[in-house]
Structure formats: structure tokens, C-alpha cells
A and B are shown apart, each in its own frame.
Chain A
Amino acid sequence: MATVTEPAQGHIPREIFPPHPEGLLGGNHDTVTLGDKIADVVIGDRTPRAWWGFFFLGFMLLQGLVVGLTYLFYAGVGIWGINQPVAWGLAIVNFVWWIGIGHAGTLISAILLLMHQKWRTSINRFAEAMTLFAVSCAGIFPLVHMGRPWVGYWIFPFPNNMAVWPQPRSPLMWDAFAVSTYLTVSLVFWYVGLIPDLAILRDRAKNKLQRIVYGMLALGWRGSAYHWRRYEKLYLLLAGLGTPLVFSVHTIVSFDFAVAIVPLWHATIFPPFFVAGAIFSGFAMVVWLAVPLRHFYGMKDFITMKHLELCAKVMIATGLLVSFGYFCELWMGWYSHSEYEWSTTYQRIWEGPYWWSYWALITTNTIIPQLLWIKRIRTNETLLFLIAGSVHIGMWFERYVIIITLSRDHTPGAWGRYAPTEWDYAIMMGSVGLFITLFCLFIKFLPMISITEMREFLPHRQGGRDGHAVMENAK
């Protein structure tokens, strides 16, 4: 397949275009300069120095996972701090934390698409990649938490000569189905979105290896109108299925807790509260990824301050929903007149050994994000980045506070303490390393922003269709 030659290389737009009416696009771009800018990150020879720094950091941290899991498989889950009564430790905290982060990608892509939000176009690709990698990190934890991970497939129903089946009335089996479905659907949604961009990379490839690899991945896509029609319909329907899927998956994750009779777990607030928290943490992670991409890859034309501000607004809304959940938990503890509910609540916030973690949660998740109400703060990249970091910490503590509730059960005879060991932390930091490593590789080898959708999103004068495609063309 032919390589593009002059005059397309070194192309400059033929006029100075007016600024984008909604502030979602900077610079002076037409379809060619836009595609070149994004594709050159992948096709070009230049890798920013910062990429190597991040990759090195991620790869170093990843070794924590390698060593931690190796020792875990050798010695068993006894190397962790878990015991009775706190039988779920950091592994489950990290599982829920990662899967929460993994929800914003599909949310941005799917819900914002259904709601005609044009600003999704700039951030959906790397947010979907974030989803995939976060769900991959999440998936490790329940698997290794099983104690005998080599028989992990027993959670799935299949005819076997032991003549037993897993229990379909248990949330643990729901979890296995929900998370594996979510990973698969996110993967195909991401890949389908990538196919036209892979064709662009194939046609712009600078060497034979790139041409072969991207050519194979592009499946021979040629932009036929018949193909586009089917493609758009599939994309819309995947978004339509992905939206309720996001809600159902995190609802099911919350059922892991809510179906148990542990005080403060057995609550109907859990599903909506978990879903809001997932979106909250996911948007915080989008901010954390978008800021370096703007800074080190010069993507400020495509990921504008307006995008960051919109993310901040979603964070205010979901942060308040989450805070409402915290209030509801306190209220229900008191109003239920259940001795156990109230006693556990009181221990959680004041009398118990882990009261500080509750106040760390309230500070980082409820109080600090209120700064985003102030426009000067939410449009300041550094402060927004720091507040998003506070949300990461807060969302981690939220799950920690829930887990640590196990230390105070119905009867004082069953009380106990929990402290994570160095192996808990090694595997946790290792999963962070896995995420950074995978994300760095994604940035280097695949277009971080959807070129096709951005071209379509360009105003008519700049060669696009003003971002009307999917909803109106999907038939």
C-alpha cells in the first residue's frame, strides 16, 4: 500500500480558521495537520525524554508485581496481612479501586457519545485504553486472592468430571461474569474504534515493519461508504450496551459487599454509591493522564483547558454524589436503631482504631474537591492535577474504610486488627507499575487520540463535519 508523498508532507492549512466556538480545539488545523500531529507520535522517530522516564518508573514498579506474585504463588496468601476477621485486605481494596478507575473510560466513550457531547472525541481513545489497563490490573487481585489461582477457572461454569457447578446465586460468580464481560466488551469497543486509525498508520508508515504490523491490524480497512455505515451503527450500539454495562458491573462489584450481612455493608445505597465513586475516580485518572499528554506531547490543541474544566465539573457532581453516600451511611447507622449498625458507625468515625482513615477519606474526597467550584482553581492545570491526586487517595481510602469494617463485627469477641505487610504494598505498587508500563506502550505504538473522529469533529470549513457523524449516520 502506497506511502503518501509530496505535497501532503509539510502541508499547511490554506487559511487561518476562526477559533472553535466551544473552545474544544486550539491551533490552526485541517484534516491533514490534525492527523499528522497525532500520527507522528507513533510513526515518527522522536520519543520525548519524559516517555523514557515514565516507562522506566513503571517498569521498575512492575517488578514489585513480578516478585510479589512469584512469592505469593510459592508461599500462599499468608504472606499478606489478611487473617480472621479481616479476611479481605488490600487485594480487594486495590481490586475495587482499579475497577472504579476503569469505568470512566467506557463512560466517557459511551455515555458522552449517546448524549451528543462533542468533547468526548479528544479524550475517548486514551480513556478507553485507561479502562483496559485498569481492568487488567483489577483482574489480577481477585484471581490471586483465591489462594489457589491455578484453579481460578473453577469460578466459571463448565461441564467437569467433578460433577459440581459454581453457585449462580453468589455475587462472586456474578463478579467473574461481569468483569470478564466488561474487559472483553471494552477491548472490542476500543479495537473497533482503532481500525480506521490503524489504516491511517498503515498508509503513513515509514518503514516495512510498521506497514506490515499496522496493515495486519487494520484488517484491510479502506473507508468504503458501505463499511462506514455498518461501522457507525456498531459503534453506536456498542456505546448503547456499554453504558448500562458500566453501571451493572460496578453494581455487581458492590454486591460483593452489600449481599453480606456485615454491619454497614448490608446497605441498598451501595450500588449507586459505588458507581458514582467509580466515575469520580475515573475522571480524576483522566485528568492525571491528560495533563502529561498536554505537557510532554504538545496535545494542547486537542485536549484544551475546556476539556479539563469539563472533567472537573463531572468530578464536582460525582464527588457530591459520593459524599451524599457517606452521609447516608451515617444517617442509616443512626436511624436504623440497630445496635450493630450504630456501634460500627461510631467505631468507624471515632472510637475504633481506624478512625483516622475515615477522616482521611472525608478530607480527600469530600472537602478538598470542593475547591473545584472556584473557576480559577479548576482551570489551573497544576491545582486540578493535585486535586485529582487527592481524589485518587480518597477513593483508595473509601474502599479501605469499607474493608476495615470487618475488624469490628457483631460481638467484641470477634474483633481483630489488620495491617498490610510489605508484600501487600509490593503487589499494590506493582499493579501501578503495570498500569504505567502498559499506558506508556500504548502511547508509543497507537494513536492516543482518535484521528478519524477528530477529523469528523472539525468544523466544516476545516474539512470536517462538525462532529455530527455517529448519532445521525448510525443506521
Chain B
Amino acid sequence: MSDPHDPHNPVLVPALHGIMAEFQQPDDLVAAVRKAREAGYTRMDGYSPYPVGEIADELGFPRSEIGAIMFIGGLCGATFGFLMQTWITVYDYPISIGGRPFWSWPMFVPITWALLVLTASLSGVFGLLALCGLPQPYHPVFNVPQFARASRDRFFLVIESADPTFGDGSGVKAFLATLNPDSIAEVPE
């Protein structure tokens, strides 16, 4: 490859998103991520056709944010539901039914509960989409032909160019080669 920075002979080479290594087994990918972390790489991602929790553990993402989001969402929904029913039956539209108290709060439980579940679930789903940046019509990893098997039977490690030690990527390639991957590929941006 010619030098893209040569001012006399400019060649347009797309910027790199990172370097990708392909593995056959989930455990190989887990081991590769561990070694990459130990080698000092910080900006990387693992791709697998089905969830393998150890990859995220090794990447240093031991706990997701979804629980907190759903808890807050559910709390908001339940509070809103309860206060709405109180507002309707006590303040805005009180109806005496056989002299029963207007603020008959046990009767508010079903709707409060339904709204808790509804808002917690929806905040979890939209939280997932927002945190993962989905929907995302384009992502550089799909530029690599081998990556079509990421939804089939192969496991991939990408060390991203955003990593401070990435440089021109040659060091990363040399490092990935020590992990015995099936293939190594540049991921154009």
C-alpha cells in the first residue's frame, strides 16, 4: 500500500475503523479479548452470533445500565398512574358510590401496576436502543466480507482505531497474529 501522506503522490485510502480478527470458538474470542486487554488495548469490541457473557466481562463491561433505567421508568409510571386516579376520583370528578370514600386507594392498584409494567418495559426497550445507538443503518464492520459469518458461526474481535496505541495499525495486526485467528482484516471506516 502506498503512503497516503505522501504529498507528491496522494492516494485516497479510507480511514480505518480498526483491525478485525476472526475466531472459530467462543472461548477463543474470550481468551483473545483477555490477552488484548492485558496487552493494554482499551478500545475494542467482540462480536458473536449469540450472547457470550464472558466477552463483555473481559471487555470491562460487567454490568449494564438497563436495570436502573427500567427501575426509574417503572417508578415514574406507577407514580403517574396512582396520582392520576387520585386526581380523577378525589378532585376532578368525585362520584359518591354508596357513600364509599373517594380516595379508595386499594382499587387503584390494578391500573398503577399495569402502568408500572408498561413504562418499565418501554423504557427498557427504548433504553436499549438508545444506549446501543440503534437503529444504525451503517456500521464499518459490515465492510469486511468475513463478517457475514458473525451472525452464523464465527466470533470476531475488533481493536478500534480510536485506541490510543493504535497508530497505523501495524502493531495491532502483529499482536492479533499472535492470537492464532482464522483471518485478520482491516476494517475501512
* Chain A interfacial positions (CB closer than 8 Å to B): 1-4, 8, 30-32, 35, 157, 163-169, 171, 173-174, 177-178, 181, 184-185, 188-189, 192, 196, 199-200, 202-204, 216, 219-234, 237-238, 241, 244-245, 248, 252, 255, 452-453, 455-456, 463-465, 469-470, 472-473, 475
Contacts and interface: CB of A to CB of B under 8 A. Distances in A.
5 contacts: A174-B114, A184-B121, A222-B142, A231-B132, A469-B52
B64 A241 contact: no
A192 B128 contact: yes
Interface string B88-124: 1100110101000000100110110111011011101
Contacts of A178: 110, 114
B164 interface: no
Contact of B110 (A174, A244, A456): A174
A-B pairs, top 6 by smallest CB distance, nearest first, are A473-B53, A220-B136, A219-B135, A225-B55, A229-B56, A174-B110
Given A223-B47, A452-B50, A203 B148 contact: yes
Interface of A (DSSP majority class):
helix
B49 A455 contact: yes
Nearest to B46: A225
Contact of B120 (A168, A241, A472): A241
- Interface centre among B62, B95, B148, by most chain A C-beta atoms within 10 angstroms, is B148
A165 B92 contact: yes
Interface in B23-63: 25-26, 33, 45-53, 55-56, 59, 61-63
Given A222-B150, A230-B64, A475 B84 contact: no
A220 B137 contact: yes
Given A178-B110, A203-B151, 15 more contacts: A8-B149, A8-B153, A157-B88, A164-B93, A167-B95, A219-B129, A221-B134, A223-B47, A229-B51, A230-B127, A232-B51, A232-B53, A241-B74, A456-B51, A465-B52
Contact of B50 (A188, A234, A469): A469
Nearest to A221: B134
Contact of A177 (B48, B107, B111): B111
A203 B128 contact: no
Interface string B50-89: 1111011001011111110010001000000000110011
Contact of A226 (B52, B132, B145): B132
B141 interface: yes
- Interface centre among A225, A452, A453, A456, by most chain B C-beta atoms within 10 angstroms, is A225
B151 A223 contact: yes
Given A174-B110, A177-B114, A238-B124, A225 B65 contact: no
B142 A4 contact: no
A472 B54 CA distance: 10
B162 interface: no
A225 B23 CA distance: 15
Interface in B134-165: 134-139, 141-142, 145, 147-153
Contact of B65 (A8, A230, A465): A230
- Interface centre among A157, A202, A223, by most chain B C-beta atoms within 10 angstroms, is A223
B93 A31 contact: no
B51 A30 contact: no
A223 B125 contact: no
A322 B146 CA distance: 55
B131 interface: yes
Nearest to A252: B110
A205 B167 CA distance: 37
Contacts of A192: 125, 128
Contacts of B97: 169
Contacts of A472: 53
B135 A223 contact: no
Contact of A231 (B70, B117, B128): B128
Contacts of A216: 135
Contact of A233 (B55, B67, B85, B150): B67
A456 B48 CA distance: 11
A463 B50 CA distance: 11
A202 B152 CA distance: 11
Nearest to A33: B153
- Interface centre among B111, B117, B128, by most chain A C-beta atoms within 10 angstroms, is B117
A199 B148 CA distance: 10
Contact of B51 (A219, A231, A255): A231
A475 B104 CA distance: 39
A165 B88 contact: yes
B148 A165 contact: no
A455 B141 CA distance: 22
A234 B142 contact: no
A184 B92 contact: no
Contact of A237 (B52, B59, B67, B139): B67
Nearest to B107: A169
Contacts of B65: 230
Contacts of B127: 230, 234
B89 A169 contact: yes
A227 B47 CA distance: 9
A234 B66 contact: yes
